[in-house]
Amino acid sequence: MRTQGRCWKKRVSKQEGFRKVENTKKKLQIGNVVLDNPLILAPMAGVTDLPFRLLCREQGAGLVCMEMISAKAIYFGNKNTEELMNIHPAEGPVSLQLFGSDPDIVSEMAKRIEERPFALLDINMGCPVPKVVNNGEGSALMKNPALAAEIISKTVKAIRKPVTVKLRKGFNDNMVNAVEMAKIAEACGAAAVTVHGRTREQYYSGKADWEIIARVKEAVTIPVIGNGDVTDGASAKALQEATGCDGVMVGRAARGNPWIFREILAYLETGVGLPGPDAEEIRQTILCHAQRLLEVKGEYTAVREMRKHVAWYTAGYPNSAALRRRVNEMESFEELLQAVADIFRE
């Protein structure tokens, strides 16, 4: 992995207020890992790769989570999975998330990769995607507490690093069992749990149920990370106050907006959020993001993956629909650079 370009050097936020909140005293300890602050970038397939995680760390995220990784894919030596597990020294602490339904494979693969430079190992029991659920993995494990317990217990015993578990409210409205699952996770040795306040059947629709997060917090003594409907500093603070959660996980609201972490940090520290990035900072961030992708994944993949990122970065811009059409036709890195130049010239 080539990481010699200037974009790999630590980038400093243009916001003067960011330095003040970057060292906030509100730390979060998970096992033996101490985070600088309680803000966590959620694991998102196709989004939280190395270049994006690094951007979010630079903007203040206390922990960044990798894209979920199949334990079976590690077992079979899948090349693409190996690339997913790349970690840059500047992005730590990092949480590596495994998914699977075979307790032996999950625990053995956790042990196989333990020497890699991640700080925490998370077990995915919340992914709602059909191809994952239909294999009995992800949120399907919410329906099988005994199997979930075996996976957690064997993984905790297999490695020295802290093991965490990501859950949902339940599988559906007739099976709301996040409290039961969190108790199981704690009993099996998990160092923390994350609770997304939606059921599997909801996917990402409707409103997140923060009450279930509060109930989990009351039921266990390990740290509880709240997830769902955090879009800015005010909503992050509201989630903390409504649930008593120890950490706040930010997911979809971070797409095209790594600055959300510095804004939330400022709000939690001062009660006032920072202004959003100006056009020049957005432009520079897009270019740096693209350059990092180019060096990690090569031109073909980088250009195609930047299509969605540019659309997220420029959401709400004048003529955004026309911009998206143009960006979706990009084939080369030069075309990408020209499109970005034109976007911010208009």
- Between 303 and 318, whose confidence is greater? 303
Sorted by sequence, the CB contacts under 8 Å of residue 38 that are 6+ apart come out as 26, 27, 28, 62, 225, 246, 247, 248
pLDDT by residue (tens digit) across 97-142? 999 999 999 999 999 999 999 999 999 999 999 999 999 999 999 9
The whole-angstrom separation of Cα 67 and Cα 101 is 18
Looking at the domain covering 24-270, what would its CATH class be?
Answer: alpha beta
What is the dotted CATH code of the domain comprising 279-343?
Answer: 1.10.1200.80
- Between 303 and 22, whose confidence is greater? 303
Task: Determine phi and psi for 306, rounding to 5 degrees.
Answer: -70, -15
pLDDT by residue (tens digit) across 147-182? 999 999 999 999 999 999 999 999 999 999 999 999
pLDDT by residue (tens digit) across 211-234? 999 999 999 999 999 999 999 999
Residue-level pLDDT at 170: 97
The residue whose two tokens read 């949120």 is 139
Answer yes or no: are the C-beta atoms of 67 and 45 closer than 8 Å: yes
* Lowest-confidence pick of 14-28, 125-139, 306-320: 14-28
Mean pLDDT of the chain: 92
For residues 26-41, average pLDDT? 96
pLDDT at residue 4 tops 50: no
Would you place residue 11 in the very low, low, confident or very high pLDDT band (cuts 50, 70, 90)? low
Query: Which percentage of the chain shows pLDDT scores above 70?
Result: 92
The whole-angstrom separation of Cα 194 and Cα 177 is 14
Task: Determine phi and psi for 273, rounding to 5 degrees.
Answer: -80, 160
The residue whose two tokens read 């069992």 is 177
Answer yes or no: are the C-beta atoms of 57 and 90 closer than 8 Å: yes
Residue-level pLDDT at 324: 78
Residue-level pLDDT at 22: 43
For residues 279-285, average pLDDT? 94
Structure tokens at 204: 């990402």
Would you place residue 9 in the very low, low, confident or very high pLDDT band (cuts 50, 70, 90)? low
Would you place residue 29 in the very low, low, confident or very high pLDDT band (cuts 50, 70, 90)? very high
pLDDT at residue 335 tops 80: yes
Residue-level pLDDT at 2: 45
pLDDT at residue 6 tops 90: no
Catalytic one among 127, 188, 245, 288? 127
The whole-angstrom separation of Cα 108 and Cα 99 is 13
Residue-level pLDDT at 8: 63
Q: Is 71 helix (H, G, I), strand (E, B) or coil?
A: helix
The whole-angstrom separation of Cα 158 and Cα 42 is 25
- Between 198 and 342, whose confidence is greater? 198
Would you say the CATH fold of 279-343 matches that of 24-270? no
- Quickly count: other Cβ atoms within 10 Å of residue 324's Cβ: 17
Q: DSSP string covering 83-94, please?
A: HHT---GGG-SE
Is 56 one of the catalytic residues? Answer: no
For residues 240-266, average pLDDT? 97
| Closest to 21 in 3D by CA, of 62, 71, 74, 81 | 62
For residues 294-313, average pLDDT? 95
- Between 253 and 345, whose confidence is greater? 253
- Quickly count: other Cβ atoms within 10 Å of residue 319's Cβ: 12
Where do the domains of the chain lie? Answer: 24-270, 279-343
Query: Which percentage of the chain shows pLDDT scores above 90?
Result: 83
pLDDT at residue 28 tops 50: yes
Measured CA distances, 68 to 110, 120, 121, 177 (Å): 13, 13, 11, 23
pLDDT at residue 25 tops 60: no
